[in-house]
Amino acid sequence: MPALPPARRSAVPESDYARKHAVTCLRLAAECRDLAAGAATPELRARVLRMADIWEDLADQPPSESTPDDSGSY
């Protein structure tokens, strides 16, 4: 009898993880934009808006090799 190929992990958890990653990044970007609206100085506002842009860029990228902890957070 031929040997069975090694078991592969299901793609569902990986796609679920990628979706959660994107949602988390977009939530953080939105929080940054909210913070920017109340920033005390133009410099602080610009910095927080740059952070929002970075979170949005990260939402479009696949998650890194790190995995969430047991609570589901990063």
DSSP string, the chain: -PPPPPP---HHHHHHHHHHHHHHHHHHHHHHHHHHHT-SSHHHHHHHHHHHHHHHHHHTSPP-S----TTS--
Q: What pTM, to 2 d.p., does this model score? A: 0.67
Q: What is the pLDDT of residue 60?
A: 92
Per-10-residue mean pLDDT for the chain, 74 residues long?
Answer: 52 78 97 97 98 96 65 53
